[in-house]
C-alpha cells in the first residue's frame, strides 16, 4: 500500500468526520473514487467499538476502489479486524513496543507521525514503514503554531530511507514544493473533507505537481 518509487507521488487523505461537508461515508466513497493513493482513518475521539465498525466500512470502500487504507491509533481494534496498516503517534508506538507488542504479527506495516529529525530517526529505527512529517505550511488544524517549512521536510527526506509524506496546509499551489523537497507524497485533511468537488480537487493537486 505505502510502497514508493520515484515516479509515484502519493496523495493521501487523512479523515476528520467532524469537519466533513455532508455524509462522511458518501464523502469517503467520493475520495476513494477520485484517484487518491490511500485513506488514513484518523478519528481518535471514537470508542474502540465505534471506530472498528466505521473502519470496516471505510476499508471496504477503499478496497472496492483499489485504494490503500490504514487505521489510526486503535491498535487492538485494527489487529482484531485484520487491517493491514496502522498509523500511530510516536508516543503510542513507544508505549506499544515497551509492552512488547509485535506489529509484524498483525500488520504488513505501520506509519508514524513525526515533528523533528530526531523523531523521524527514532521512528525509522523502531521499524516504521513510512512517516508523516509536519506541519509544513500554515494550517487551520494547527492554529497559532509556526509551520516547520520546506527546509524541515527536506531534512527529514534526506535522513530517511523510508517514504516521507508531508502533512499540513498542502494545496494545489504548494504541492510542487513538497515534491521538490523529496517527499514521497502529501497527506491532506481539510482540503478533502471540505471539497465540494473531490475529483476536481485531486485533479488540481495532480496538475500542481
The Cα 127–Cα 121 span in angstroms is 10
User: How many other CB atoms are there within 10 angstroms of residue 103's CB atom?
Assistant: 20
Burial class (CB in 10 A: 0-12, 13-18, 19+), 197: exposed
pLDDT of res. 145: 79
pLDDT of res. 142: 66
How many DSSP H helices and E strands does the chain contain? Answer: 9, 8
pLDDT of res. 1: 52
The Cα 155–Cα 34 span in angstroms is 31
**pLDDT by 10s per residue, the chain, length 209:** 555 444 689 999 999 999 998 899 999 999 999 999 999 999 999 999 999 999 999 999 999 999 999 999 999 999 999 999 999 999 999 999 999 999 999 999 999 999 999 999 999 999 999 999 999 998 877 667 799 999 999 999 999 999 999 999 999 999 999 999 999 999 999 999 999 999 999 999 999 99
The Cα 25–Cα 192 span in angstroms is 13
CA-angle at 130, arms to 124 and 135, nearest 5°: 100
pLDDT of res. 7: 60
Could you give the 3-state DSSP secondary structure of residue 3? coil
pLDDT of res. 4: 46
Nearest CA to 32 out of 4, 3, 57 is that of 57
What is the Cβ-side half-sphere exposure of residue 159, based on CA atoms within 13 angstroms? 21
Amino acid at each position: 500500500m505505502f510502497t514508493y518509487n520515484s515516479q509515484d507521488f502519493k496523495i493521501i487523505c487523512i479523515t476528520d468526520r467532524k469537519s466533513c461537508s455532508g455524509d462522511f461515508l458518501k464523502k469517503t466513497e467520493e475520495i476513494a473514487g477520485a484517484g487518491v493513493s490511500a485513506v488514513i482513518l484518523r478519528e481518535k475521539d471514537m470508542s474502540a467499538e465505534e471506530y472498528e465498525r466505521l473502519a470496516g466500512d471505510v476499508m471496504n470502500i477503499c478496497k472496492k476502489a483499489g485504494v490503500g487504507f490504514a487505521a489510526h491509533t486503535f491498535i487492538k481494534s485494527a489487529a482484531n479486524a485484520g487491517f493491514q496498516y496502522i498509523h500511530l503517534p510516536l508516543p503510542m508506538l513507544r508505549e506499544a513496543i515497551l509492552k512488547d507488542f509485535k506489529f509484524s504479527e498483525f500488520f504488513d506495516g505501520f506509519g508514524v507521525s513525526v515533528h523533528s529529525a530526531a523523531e523521524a530517526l527514532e521512528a525509522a529505527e523502531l521499524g516504521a514503514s513510512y512517516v508523516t512529517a509536519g506541519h509544513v505550511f500554515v494550517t487551520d488544524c494547527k492554529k497559532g503554531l509556526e509551520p516547520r517549512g520546506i527546509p524541515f521536510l527536506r531534512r527529514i527526506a534526506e535522513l530517511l530511507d523510508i517514504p516521507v509524506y508531508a502533512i499540513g496546509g498542502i494545496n494545489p499551489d504548494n504541492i510542487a514544493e513538497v515534491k521538490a523537497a523529496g517527499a514521497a507524497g502529501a497527506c491532506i485533511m481539510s482540503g478533502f473533507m471540505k471539497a465540494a468537488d473531490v475529483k476536481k480537487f485531486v485533479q488540481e493537486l495532480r496538475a500542481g505537481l
